[in-house]
Amino acid sequence: MALLKLRSAPTVLIEDDGNKNIIPLLSALTQHEKNSINMFCYEQPISNWRKVFREKSNVLYHEEFQPECYEKYTNTKGTVILDSVNQMALCLTLNETLKYLKKLNNDSNVLQIILILHKDCLSHFSKLQAFLNHLSNAIVSYDPKESNKVRVQLKKSGKIVKTEEILTYNIQTSTLKSLPIIKEEKREDEPEKPLPSNLSTFKIEIEQTDKLEKYKLKLPYMSKINEGVSKVYYEPDAVDDWDEEDPDEDLDI
């Protein structure tokens, strides 16, 4: 499934529409990360994120992204998490945000970038969203009605694979599992054979009422047939050519 593929994706975009609870997914993505994690906390204060990653000692928290500290952020190999890209664009301007996101994406010390985007706060035609969709190798979007249902879009070898998953979180073991939603393939019904009546502009078939009327109809010759006696009368025409000779006289009959 998608969790394993998401962990290996260089850039993951999480579309947090309607303030969905993305913490289980974020924890699952960073569960096995042993390198440093640079967490930029625009939306939620650092104290909240400390509670989320309380069992991790390799998380470095920052209130916001400082361009002058870029070398400090990337001096060791690790993961970068931005919560959220919307607020980063407001603080740094859109062009600066796109510039440093591209730089982080090309940095050899940045093993993975996890971007959190509030798509519901963007305009219909957003340059930021278009850039992130192009930059990201994996996009996770939550269903507007079912909070545990996500749509995953993975880019691999120039191909885009889309799946739907159901996320289940076990509180006791603090583990997130995902089950793919298998859609039943709809079989195309075979086209019905056309009726003879549909192949012509005039009426071919006879309805029941027409059949009854047909049986009731009496033709002139029917009365003679019903009498049980029939004769054939023939009167030669004047133009008939009769041969008086016997046509079979040469035969020995």
Q: What is the rounded distance in angstroms from the CA atom of residue 244 to the CA atom of residue 98?
A: 119
pLDDT of residue 97: 94
pLDDT tens, position by position, 8-41: 899 999 998 767 788 889 988 998 889 999 999 9
How confident is the model over 80-87, as a mean pLDDT? 93
Q: What is the rounded distance in angstroms from the CA atom of residue 173 to the CA atom of residue 168?
A: 12
pLDDT of residue 87: 92
**Residue that the structure tokens 């999480």 belong to:** 14
pLDDT of residue 199: 67
**Sequence-distant (≥ 6) Cβ neighbours of residue 58 within 8 angstroms:** 33, 34, 35, 36, 37, 78
The yes-or-no verdict on residue 138 having pLDDT over 80 is yes
Structure tokens at 30: 């960073």
Q: What mean pLDDT value characterizes the chain?
A: 82
pLDDT of residue 126: 83
Residue 50's H or E segment, with its range, is helix 46-52
**Residue that the structure tokens 């047909």 belong to:** 214
Q: CA 235, 241, 243: angle at the middle one, nearest 5?
A: 110
Q: What is the rounded distance in angstroms from the CA atom of residue 49 to the CA atom of residue 239?
A: 121
pLDDT confidence tier of residue 239, bands split at 50, 70 and 90:
low
What is the domain class of 2-180 according to CATH? alpha beta
**What residue spans define the domains of the chain?**
2-180, 196-227
pLDDT confidence tier of residue 224, bands split at 50, 70 and 90:
low
pTM of the model: 0.69
